[in-house]
Amino acid sequence: MKIKVAVVGATGIAGQQVLASLDNHPTFEVAALAASERSAGKSFADAITDPDSGIRRWYAAGSNPAPEILALPVQDAKGLDLRGIDLVFAAVESEAARELEPIYARHVPTVSTARPYRMEPDVPLVIPGVNLEHLALINEQKRRRGWRGFIATLPNCTATGMAITLKALEPRFGIDCVMVTTMQGISGAGRDLPALDIVENIIPYIPREEERVQIETRKILGHLGEGAIAELPIRLSATCTRAGVIAGHTEAVSVGLKKPASPEDIIAAFQEYGTEFTRLGLPSSPRHLITVHRDPMRPQPRLDRDVEGGMTTSVGRIRPDEVLPNGIKYLLVTHNTAMGAGKGAVLLAEYLAHAGYLRG
C-alpha cells in the first residue's frame, strides 16, 4: 500500500512542484491538500483558477495537474484532517509554517520547505545526498518534544546548489572561506513578484536571503554532534540579487581552500561526488548530483536548470581565484523549485521512506 500524503501550500509554486513530482509516484499517494483560508473549501481546480477569466495558475513547467488532483478539496491548513495521513509536505509561507508545522509534526512526519525551524538545534536541515546523516536528529527531536512525528527541513533554495558543491570539496581540500554572488530566478520569490519590478532589471536586495545562505550553509556542512549539529566554522560572504529569469538560480562562487587544488582536481571532486546516494536509484534522484561543463558558455539557467529533472547542480567556468588563499572559482545553476524546493522535498521523503523513518 502506498504512503498517504497531504500537501500543504498546494496552490503555491513549491507545493505545485511537490504535486508534479508525486504524479504516478511508486511510493506516495496524494490523499489531502491544504492551503490558506482563501483557498479552503474549493476544489483544487477552483482554488487555482480565476473564476472570471478562467486563467489557471499552474507553475510546474512540463506537467499538468492530474484530474484526480484537480478534483480534490482544498482544506484549511489550520484544520487539516490528519486521519489516514502518513506524511505531510509543508510548503507555505514562513509565518504560517511557524504555526502549522508543529501542529502536524506532533502526529506525523512533516517535510518542510520553509524557514522557521531550519536552525532549531534538534531539527535536521538536509539536502538529499549531502548530509543525510543529520537525520539522526529526528530521534532526539521526537524524544525532546514528545512528538509522534517530526519536522525535517530543506534549506533555502540559494544555499542548496552552493552547499552541494562545497560538500564535494570540503573533505578533500578543506574550506577556509567562501564568497558568493547570486542571480536568482523570479519563481524563488513565490507567486507575487510584480513583472514591472523584474523585467529588464536586476533587483539588488532580497530580504534576509544573504544571512540565511550564510547560516544555513554552515549548518548543512556541519558535523553531527550530541543532539545537535556542530556548524562548520567557515567565513562566508553572500550578495544575493534577483534577475529576470523565471526559474534557476545562478551563483558565482569563490572558495578559499585549506589545501591547494588545480581546476582538474576540483573537476574530479565534483564528478566523483555523491555516487553512494545516486546509486540508491530513488525515483526523484538525479543520476549525478553535480554536472560539470567545460564549455565556457555553460551553465546557463535556460539550458541547464531542467537537466536531470531539475535535480542536478550544473557547474562550469572552474578556474583559479587569484585573490583568495588557494582560491578557486566557478559558476553554478541550481533549479530553485525542483532540487531547491518541491522535488527536493519529495526526494527527501523518498529517502526517509527508504531509511525507515516513515510509518512508525
Ligand X SMILES: NC(=O)c1ccc[n+]([C@@H]2O[C@H](COP(=O)([O-])OP(=O)(O)OC[C@H]3O[C@@H](n4cnc5c(N)ncnc54)[C@H](OP(=O)(O)O)[C@@H]3O)[C@@H](O)[C@H]2O)c1
User: Where along the sequence are the contacts to ligand X (CB under 6 A)?
Assistant: 9, 11-15, 35-36, 38-39, 77, 91-94, 96-97, 113-115, 157, 187-188, 190-191, 336-337, 340-341
**Nearest residue relative to ligand X (C-beta):** 12
Closer by beta carbon to ligand X, 38 or else 359: 38
CA 224 to chain centre: 20
CA dihedral in degrees (4, 82, 157, 25; nearest 10)?
10
Closer by beta carbon to ligand X, 256 or else 340: 340
At how many degrees (to 10) do helices 157-173 and 263-271 cross? 110
The amino acid at residue 344 is G
C-alpha closest to that of 328 among 269, 240, 276: 269
Establish whether 25 is a catalytic residue: no
| Catalytic entry in 134, 240, 249, 335 | 249
Q: How far is the CB of 34 from ligand X (least distance, A)?
A: 7
Closer by beta carbon to ligand X, 249 or else 329: 249
CA 347 to chain centre: 10
- Please give the full DSSP string across 235-289, using - where no structure is assigned: EEEEEEEEES-SS-EEEEEEEEESS---HHHHHHHHHTTTHHHHTT--TT--S-S
Closer by beta carbon to ligand X, 203 or else 268: 203
| Catalytic entry in 134, 157, 288, 335 | 157
Q: Helix (H) and strand (E) counts for the chain? A: 12, 15
Establish whether 157 is a catalytic residue: yes
Q: How far is the CB of 338 from ligand X (least distance, A)?
A: 9
Closer by beta carbon to ligand X, 110 or else 113: 113
Closer by beta carbon to ligand X, 97 or else 132: 97
Q: Where are the alpha helices (DSSP H) in the chain?
A: 13-22, 44-47, 67-71, 94-105, 137-145, 157-173, 195-198, 209-220, 263-271, 275-278, 301-304, 342-354
The amino acid at residue 42 is K
Q: How far is the CB of 191 from ligand X (least distance, A)?
A: 4
- Only one residue has cell 531509511, namely 355
Strand partners, 125: 153
CA 88 to chain centre: 16
Positions marked active-site: 157, 249
